[in-house]
Amino acid sequence: MRYMKNNNGLLAILAAILLFGTSCGKMEDSYREFIEGGERIYAGRVTTVQTIAGNEKIKIIWKIPSDPNINEFRIFWNNNKDSLSLNFDRTTHSEPTMELEINPLKAGTYYFNICSYDLNGRSSVKTEFTGISYPIGYEIEN
């Protein structure tokens, strides 16, 4: 009986070694396609976005990323069919946020993406957010 317990333990150790040994060799296959052509550098990403609903308009306010090379922001909506681009100069912009009002916008819910771009033309990872535009004359009751 004692021989059987030791044998089961040895089998478990051998199985773990075989499993570990075969799985490590293929780990790099899971990320190989992402590093072809070298490492990719992104501009600093916008992480904090706020929207304010209005009558046929939406105001967008976002925190400026700390990346010192950012020189442009682009906002996309309507499945990227519509967009606005804003140049950005850190030396003249002293506020920690930027804002943009988009109007006129028909009443409805809008899905936006914002990307920042750096001096080398590299974009950030997009940040997705939503905003609401109300019809003219719509009033919120308190």
Report pLDDT for 53: 96
pLDDT in tens, 42-61: 999 999 999 999 999 999 99
In which residue are the tokens 């992104």 written? Answer: 42
Q: Is 94 contained in some domain?
A: yes
CA distances from 102 to 13, 49, 79 (A): 64, 15, 16
How many domains does one find in the chain? Answer: 2
Residues found in the chain: 142
Could you tell me the residue range of the domain that residue 8 belongs to? 2-34
Same domain? 23 vs 58: no
* CATH code at position 86: 2.60.40.10
Same domain? 89 vs 123: yes
Q: Is 24 contained in some domain?
A: yes
Choose among 141, 137, 58: nearest CA to 100: 58
Rounded Cα gap, residues 107 and 102, in angstroms: 12
Same domain? 64 vs 11: no
Q: Is 21 contained in some domain?
A: yes
pLDDT in tens, 100-129: 999 999 999 999 999 999 999 999 999 999
For 18, other C-beta atoms within 10 Å of its C-beta total 10
**Whole-structure pTM value:** 0.72
Tell me whether strands 127-134 and 57-63 are parallel, antiparallel or unpaired. Answer: unpaired
Same domain? 14 vs 66: no
Rounded Cα gap, residues 142 and 136, in angstroms: 18
